[in-house]
Amino acid sequence: MSRLLFSLFLALAALPLAADEVAVAPAVDAGRLPPLGAAWLAANPYRQQPAAGDAVAIGHDAYNQACARCHGADAATNAAPAPDLRKLDRACRRIADPELKAWCQRDNDAYFAKTVRRGKIILGVTHMPPWEGVLAQELAWAIQLFVESRAR
Ligand code: HEC
């Protein structure tokens, strides 16, 4: 009996942590962005698209709902518990050659998408939950554009 109570106590004590690691979809309408279909693209399709003019604002909203609690509100700090996402494309931004820059961005986009879809599960510990099936890829790419717009 006491063992059962102890297990119950452990389960309850672990609850808040577990809840923290769950990916919760932001209440943002992905339909305001040009639709991309179910299969994830390899690179950010909105970067060169004038039709995605609202993407940065929509991405800002989605970021604050889904990512900010770990990566920092408004992507405006490097003091959050999770990495400062503004630094992700820093190397690409420094490249002057347009072709090399585009290649670098494609590589960075692939890493961004892979990380968001799979999350970061290291040695069985969830550092970041997987967003596949929770976050529409339209919102993920918009979030990336927002974060890049914050970079200096
Ligand atoms: C529960 C906390 C948490 C939430 C919520 C979260 N992340 Fe993360 N994220 C992390 C942590 C922690 C890491 C670093 C993992 C590691 O490498 O140890 C990370 C890493 C990343 C990376 C890789 C960064 C790098 O420098 O390699 C990307 C990209 C990323 N997150 C994007 C996002 C996006 C986009 C969202 C919102 C949709 C999000 N994360 C929500 C905790 C979170």
pLDDT tens for 102-124 read 999 999 999 999 999 999 999 99
Q: Is the pLDDT of residue 16 over 80?
A: no
- Print the domain residue range for 83: 2-150
Determine if ligand 1 sits within 6 Å of the CB of residue 111: no
The pair of structure tokens assigned to 15 is 């609850």
pLDDT in tens, 30-81: 999 999 998 999 999 998 775 666 899 999 999 999 999 999 999 999 999 9
Atom of ligand 1 nearest to the CA of 63: 37
User: SS3 for 127?
Assistant: strand
Question: Which residue shows structure tokens 């550092």?
Answer: 127
Q: Is the pLDDT of residue 19 over 60?
A: no
Q: What's the gap in Å between 6 CA and the centre of ligand 1? A: 33
Helix extents (H) in the chain: 2-20, 55-66, 68-71, 90-93, 98-118, 137-150
pLDDT band, residue 127 (cuts 50/70/90): very high
Determine if ligand 1 sits within 6 Å of the CB of residue 131: yes
Atom of ligand 1 nearest to the CA of 84: 26
DSSP 40: P
What is the tally of structural domains in the chain? Answer: 1
